[in-house]
Amino acid sequence: MEALGKGRLGLLSNQASLDSRCRTAKAVISEVLPGRLKALFGPQHGFGGEDQDNMIETGHSRDRALNLPVFSLYSQVREPSPEMLDLMDILVVDLQDVGTRVYTFASTLLGCHEGSRPFRKKVIVLDRPNPLGGDRVEGNLLALELYSFVGPYRLPMRHGLTLGEIACLFNHVFALDCDLYVLPMKGWRRAMLWPETGLRWMMPSPNMPLPETAMVIRARFSGKELMSQKEEGLPPL
């Protein structure tokens, strides 16, 4: 917790942001650092991961248990606004990525970089394993003219990076000069697939019931096949 300093905190997370005892990130931070958590943020599918449809935006809300605002970064905005950032000094990001370019949590992270930079807000990424491992890269590279929210950079479909590594990559290639700190993992090795981590899989989005689902996405390179498989959310038989 030393990395979190002494400032006011915001937290970007969702229902899969759990510790080894299945406690949510917001609960852990509130317990260990009482009174410092000032705002919550959710990615695509919502803070609770309850929004099923891929293109449905999520509105802002309020966490009743903590009496904190919950800002959606998949709404009319894709990055935290100055008014949101004014509530905090440090933005903590705790999201489980799935290792494929089209998963939008990387774009949300990039938006946090871009939104926080003008106000010199610190961004701390709590790194988590890539369920597809980190020693293999596969697939096509995205052309510059096709950059979008489902592909913000020239990454291959299976990119082999953790979200913390993506954060460092974006900070460098886009010359963002964001005040970034990545809290590294202990015990993870790049050759590990998810079952080898010994961790429990918690769905990071409604269409990701199994870590093997990520294998489906990386295996489908055409847009039509990709969206069909992603919506089904199941590994091939």
H or E stretch at 125: strand 122-126
Beta pairing class for 68-72 and 37-42: parallel
Reduced 3-state DSSP string for 151-168? ECCCCEEECCCCHHHHHH
pLDDT per position as a tens digit, 121-153: 999 999 999 999 999 999 889 999 999 999 999
pLDDT per position as a tens digit, 222-234: 344 444 444 444 4
pTM (global) more than 0.85 = yes
- One-letter amino acid at 48 equals G
pLDDT per position as a tens digit, 176-221: 999 999 999 999 999 999 999 999 999 998 888 998 888 876 655 4
| Contact (Cβ atoms closer than 8 angstroms) between residue 88 and residue 7 | yes
Give the residue carrying structure tokens 């449905």.
56
Pseudo-torsion of CA 19, 122, 34, 17, nearest 10°? -20
What does the alpha-carbon distance between residue 201 and residue 34 come to, in Å, rounded to a whole number? 28
| Contact (Cβ atoms closer than 8 angstroms) between residue 90 and residue 124 | yes
